[in-house]
Structures are given as C-alpha cells and as structure tokens.
C-alpha cells in the first residue's frame, strides 16, 4: 500500500512500480508533500515546524532511497535552510542518518507506524479475522483505509498461494482504480469524491483501467448500491479483486476488506459467488467487535 493490497490484496509489485512511475511521469518537478485537510497556515495552534519535519519524513517514500538535502527540498517544497534544520534535528533524535551528502531514514521511524498499529482499534481485532478468511479462501486478505487519494494497507494475511510479492502493511494504491479504494470512496460525500478525482492524476495502469471521472463515479454508485466493488485487471493484468466495506456497530465506515485472485483461477462471476460470502462473513465479525 512493504506488505501490500487488496483483494487487490494480492497485487504484484510490478503494479505498484507502475503506479509510482506514472506519478513521477505526471510531475516534472515533484509537488510539495501536503495534506488536503491541513489547517489554515495562520492558525495559532498550528505548529509549522512539526509539519515540515513530518513532510521531510514522508518525502523519503517518494524518493525511495537515500536523498540529498536539495532533493528533499524539491519534494517537500520547503527551503533548503528549513529542510536542513529538520534533517539535523531528525538525525539528533535518531530518525535519520547521514552519509556524506546523503540522508536516509533510520529504523527508529518505524516507531511512528507501530504507534498507529498498536493503538488503532481496527488493527487490534483484524489479524485473527484476516487469518481465518485467508485460510478459508486460500487467498490473501487485506484491510485498507483511505488516505486522501490513496488507500493504505493497515493489516494483511498472506496465503502461500498468493500472487503478492511486495504488498505489505503501509503499502499504498490509488483509490480510483482499486477495489478497496472504490468501496471507501463510495462512502464519502459526492462533492469530496469529485474534488479528489479531479485533483489527482488518473493514469491507465493497464488497458482496462477506467480513468474518466464519469466512469469512476459510475463504479462508485454501483459499489454503493451492491455493497461491494470489483477491480478487474485495472491494476494488474491477470488479477481480479473484490472488496467490501467495514463498518462499526454504529454504521460508520472505517475501512475496506479485500481478497484477490488470478484471472486464470476464477471468472468475475465465480469471484462474487465464492469470495463475496466469505468477505461478508468477515465483515460481520468486524461490525460485532468495533
């Protein structure tokens, strides 16, 4: 979303590589790391230094390796002076290491992700349910949450027959063309969804990828009406995925649960006949516990 997706639970790393490549191709100069819901910059309670430090940490995910100060400044949109101060502070705290001109994240930053996994009610109850679902279906099961225009995988159980080679906790996939993403977008207000889709790049990752806003909105309407979404070779040729929403006992949408199969093993019809009942069984277990 690494230990990655879905029903797209079982997306091979080549799909993820193409996602990353397409994003790089759609920005000659990387845009600043930013969040849609960031507070107004004149908010007196807002700590700008903390924002910059976190954006520097997140920038390493876009660079995918050691990075120079100049490169991190380009990615974050911050000045070299402010990025330098962030890096030196992170080095002193043990989150970043320096080797000449290159900086890289240290293992200590894993504490940040672990803090989420250890404190989130969903991930606390997820693993046993995912393990049972994976064992019953002999496929890999994953749970993802929406983060702006992407889905992020927060729990996963991999069956040995799985196709996935790099999909792990923390992996990201574009919401517009993944089964988990469509389930989650279908639960968002329509004006917000249209804003997200119109703002993001929507490359055709395969010849079957739906890229127009109208087509995607149609898939979201279908997902909302039928209670599940299917991604049919839109992320990776040879892969079909199916996902259902996970809701709390009060009905709040919190995540999506997915399974995926190789197209040679199941048709689209067999996917819904064989896997949808298992997803529904798991979904009910979550609603009873959340």
- DSSP labels, 19-57: HHHHHHHT-SSPPPP--TTPPPTT-TT--HHHHHHHHHH
Instruction: Please state, for a pLDDT cut of 70, what percent of the chain lies above it.
Output: 82
> Which of the four pLDDT bands, split at 50, 70 and 90, describes residue 42?
low
| CB atoms inside a 10 Å sphere around CB 39 | 11
Share of the chain above pLDDT 90, in %: 54
- Of the three residues 56, 74, 109, the one that is the final residue of a domain is 109
> Does residue 140 share a domain with residue 123?
yes
Instruction: Specify the pLDDT at position 106.
Output: 93
Checking if the pLDDT of 182 tops 90, the result is yes
Instruction: Answer yes or no: is 78 within a domain.
Output: yes
| Domain-ending residue, one of 74, 109, 144 | 109
**Cα 117 to Cα 257: distance, rounded to the nearest angstrom:** 16
Judged against a pLDDT cut of 80, whether residue 133 lies above it is answered with yes
CATH of the domain at 275: 3.30.450.40
The torsion region of residue 140 among left (phi > 0), alpha (psi -120 to 50) and beta comes to beta
Distance CA 20, CA 191 (A): 27
pLDDT of residue 27: 39
**Across 139-153, average pLDDT:** 91
Residue with tokens 């970043």: 96
Residue 250 burial by Cβ neighbours in a 10 Å radius (0-12, 13-18, 19+): exposed
- What does the pLDDT read at residue 31? 44
In a domain, 196, yes or no: yes
- Looking at the fold, whether 281 and 142 belong to one and the same domain comes out as yes
Asked if residue 229 and residue 92 are part of one domain, the reply reads no
> What is the reported pLDDT for 123?
82
Domain boundary among the residues 109, 143, 160 is at 109
Regarding whether 246 and 281 lie in a shared domain, the answer is yes
Asked if the structure places residue 23 within a domain, the reply is no
* Residue 6 covered by a domain: no
Q: Does residue 8 lie within any of the structural domains?
A: no
> What Å distances lie between residue 4 and 59, 186, 268, CA to CA?
19, 22, 22
For residues 64 and 128, state if they share a domain. Answer: no
What's the domain count of the chain?
2
In this prediction, residue 29 has a pLDDT band, given cuts at 50, 70 and 90, of: very low
pTM greater than 0.75 (yes/no): no
Rounded to 5°, the CA angle 27-219-199 comes to 25
- Structural domain containing residue 47: 28-109
Q: Are β-strands 141-147 and 96-99 bridged in parallel, bridged antiparallel, or unpaired?
A: unpaired
Domain assignment of residue 232, yes or no: yes
Please compute the mean of the pLDDT values over residues 140-164 and round it to a whole number.
81
Same domain membership, residue 128 and residue 248: yes
Same domain, 163 and 237: yes
Question: Is residue 80 domain-shared with residue 118, that is, in the same domain?
Answer: no
pLDDT surpassing 80 at residue 1: no
Q: Does residue 92 sit in the same domain as residue 127? A: no
pLDDT at 184: 96
Whether residue 30 is predicted with pLDDT greater than 80 in this model: the reply is no
Q: Are residues 123 and 80 in the same domain?
A: no
Q: What is the DSSP letter of 175?
A: G
Question: How high is the pLDDT of residue 158?
Answer: 80
Whether residue 55 lies inside any domain: the answer is yes
Q: What is the reported pLDDT for 161?
A: 55
Please, what is the average pLDDT of the chain? 83
- Whether 207 is in a domain gets the answer yes
Buried b (16+ CB within 10 A) or exposed e, 190-212: eeebeebbeebebbebbeebbee
Q: Looking at the structure, tell me whether residues 49 and 97 fall in a common domain.
A: yes
Query: Mean of the pLDDT values across residues 210-219?
Result: 95
């Amino acid at each position: 979303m690494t230990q990655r997706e879905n029903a797209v639970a079982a997306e091979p790393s080549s799909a993820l590589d193409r996602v990353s490549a397409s994003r790089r191709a759609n920005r000659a100069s990387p845009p600043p790391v930013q969040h849609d819901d960031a507070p107004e910059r004149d908010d007196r309670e807002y700590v700008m230094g903390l924002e910059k430090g976190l954006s520097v940490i997140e920038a390493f995910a876009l660079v995918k390796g050691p990075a120079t100060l100049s490169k991190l400044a380009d990615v974050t949109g911050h000045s070299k002076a402010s990025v330098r101060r962030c890096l030196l502070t992170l080095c002193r705290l043990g989150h970043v290491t320096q080797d000449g001109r290159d900086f890289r994240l240290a293992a200590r930053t894993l504490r940040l992700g672990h803090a989420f996994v250890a404190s989130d009610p969903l991930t606390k109850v997820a693993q046993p349910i995912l393990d049972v679902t994976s064992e019953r279906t002999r496929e890999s099961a994953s749970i993802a949450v929406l983060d702006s225009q992407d889905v992020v995988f927060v729990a996963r159980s991999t069956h040995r027959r799985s196709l996935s080679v790099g999909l792990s906790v923390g992996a990201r996939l574009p919401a517009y063309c993944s089964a988990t993403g469509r389930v989650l977008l279908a639960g968002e207000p329509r004006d917000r969804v249209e804003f997200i889709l119109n703002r993001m790049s929507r490359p055709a990752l395969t010849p079957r990828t739906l890229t127009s806003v109208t087509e995607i909105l149609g898939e979201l309407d279908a997902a909302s009406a039928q209670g599940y979404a299917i991604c049919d070779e839109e992320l990776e040729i040879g892969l079909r995925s199916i996902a259902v929403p996970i809701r709390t006992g009060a009905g709040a949408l919190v995540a999506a649960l997915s399974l995926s199969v190789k197209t040679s093993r199941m048709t689209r019809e067999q996917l819904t006949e064989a896997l949808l009942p298992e997803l529904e069984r798991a979904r009910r277990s979550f609603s009873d516990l959340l």
